[in-house]
A = this chain, B = another copy of it.
Amino acid sequence: MFEATKVGRTVSKEDFKEQQEELRTLLLEAQRELRETNIPVVVLVSGVEGAGKGEVVNRLNEWLDTRGVQTFAFWDETDEERARPRYWRFWRTLPPRGDITILFGGWYAAPIENRFQDHCNDAELDAELNRIVEFERMLIQDGALIVKFWFHMSEENQKACLNALSRDDRSRWKMMPQKAKFSEHYRVFEQVAERVVQHTDQGISPWHLVEAKDTRYRDLTVGKTLLHAIRTRLSDPGGAPNQGAATGSLDMPSGAQAQITVLDKLDLSKSLATPKYKTRMTELQKEINELAWYAYNAKRSTVLMFEGVDAGGKGGAIRRITSAIDARLYRTIPVAAPTDEEKAHHYLWRFWRQVPRAGYITIYDRSWYGRVLVERVEGYASDTEWRRAYSEINRFEEQLVGSGIVLLKFWIHIDQDEQLKRFQDREETAYKRYKITADDWRNREKWPAYKEAVNEMVARTSTQHAPWTLVEGNDKPYTRVKVMRTICESLERALAAGRPAISGYVPCGDKRTAAPAPSGTPVEKDQKGKG
């Protein structure tokens, strides 16, 4: 889920100067308005070491009117605190209505640290996270606005930052002794962080993931996000759940490098020559055919899910799969506008209906992600609805994977030029003409909005148990082979490993015993066949 914080967003000195000036005025204005209301604001600052949380807080204190702003760090517990229930120290710091409190780490620091140090297991961590969700919900229902920032950067960048800090005499004192270990254990820390952020990323108190490498981008993003969150809350004094701004939504820092997304990191020039493509595809089709049968015998189900830019080549990729697999084993679900019956239910209902039974494959051509893509961009779903959907979708997928289903999610991406070429081609070719509608042209105009929606979607729903596969789509042969290869590799891995349980997902409500490991992994079976 942190891919979106490693794309290299930056803001130039000039852009920063210009935008900072306006931002400061607006922040002070918002703060003044806030004082007249009954809204207490809690700003939570978390993230990887070296991301400059302290600098951000200093910046906020510089920008805001410090009357009405209090900052708390939770280092060692005091005697007073140790002698009372754990949350006493947090209750002490909660702001009165109209004020702002900035918390370093807050109630997240201890659970993350404890899990990272292996002082508790995933299930215990989850239990604590559930208590946090309830605690935050309670404050929000009472009118509070909670704005949570997670600062992140790539492993190399973190290393560079920490090295720079320790080299510099003026900043060496900032390097607390334990900092070094964090960079060593970057991956472990990131996994814990993902679990924590994902579990507590509720529609009513979302996390804002901020790329922290460029300090100007980082500070501007924090300021603008906070401003947006306060303003949205002020405009809805009814006390509706707070809608913080999405990371990088359109009123975020501007400038050429400030709005690049995970999609810009794709190398769309990747391609595959035709002869090579043909050989490889034939191999892969044979392989997927066999794997589908193995999976059937092992009673492992598969869900393949395709999303992507219009004319990106979803259909072509799907056809290469379906033409290789026995038609009795799969079903393709093209997802268009919902039927009347589907509309009469929760939006996930139509997808639950189609969940494959053990051993079968369901291919979704477009999916439940419509909620956070087209429904978001076109305004079919309200702000509250699509923001809530991220965690609903994560829970849904957790259930699929937890029950043993192999879930693969593909985003097939092409650039705007390629899309134009394909659209024109469709209009000119008789048998392709049915594929292009006025809608497609209209969607094309909303390219930046879709791009931002995809970026946030990947940030919030690319999880350890159900990661997104982003596919470079400009070259069709390359696309199809990458899709096929990913499926084959994942299926093979899953079948070889037997049925995995999501760590921490204990199906207490499930009386069935775990499915037996498949009688023979593909490899073993091959050997048998040879024997």
Contact = CB atoms under 8 A, between A and B. Distances in A.
Interface of A: 38, 40, 77, 80, 82-88, 91-92, 94, 96-98, 107, 110-111, 113-115, 119-120, 123-128, 130-131, 134-135, 138-139, 141-142, 144, 299, 301, 341, 344-349, 352-353, 355-359, 388, 392, 395, 399-400, 402-403, 405, 504, 506-512
A110 B510 CA distance: 7
Contacts of A125: 508
B84 A345 contact: no
Interface centre among A124, A127, A341, A512 (most CB of B within 10 A): A127
Q: Which 10 A-B pairs have the closest CB atoms?
A: A96-B344, A83-B358, A85-B403, A83-B357, A128-B508, A91-B352, A110-B509, A120-B508, A124-B508, A124-B506
Nearest to A117: B511
Contacts of A138: 346, 392, 395
B128 A130 contact: no
Q: How many copies does the complex hold?
A: 2
B88 A352 contact: yes
Contacts of A506: 120, 124, 127-128
A402 B127 contact: no
A82 to B, nearest CB: 6
A256 B177 CA distance: 72
Contacts of A127: 123, 126-127, 130, 504, 506, 508
A358 B395 contact: no
Contacts of A110: 508-511
- Report which residue of A84, A119, A120, A144 has the largest number of chain B beta carbons within 10 angstroms of its beta carbon: A84
Given A119-B511, A130-B130, A141-B388, A399 B85 contact: yes
A299 B83 contact: yes
Nearest to A141: B388
A86 B403 contact: yes
A355 B84 contact: yes
Contacts of A344: 38, 40, 96-98
Residue among A348, A353, A402, A509 with the highest chain B CB neighbour number at 10 A: A509
Given A134-B395, A141-B388, A392-B138, A507 B86 contact: yes
A400 B127 CA distance: 17
A120 B111 CA distance: 24
A400 B98 CA distance: 29
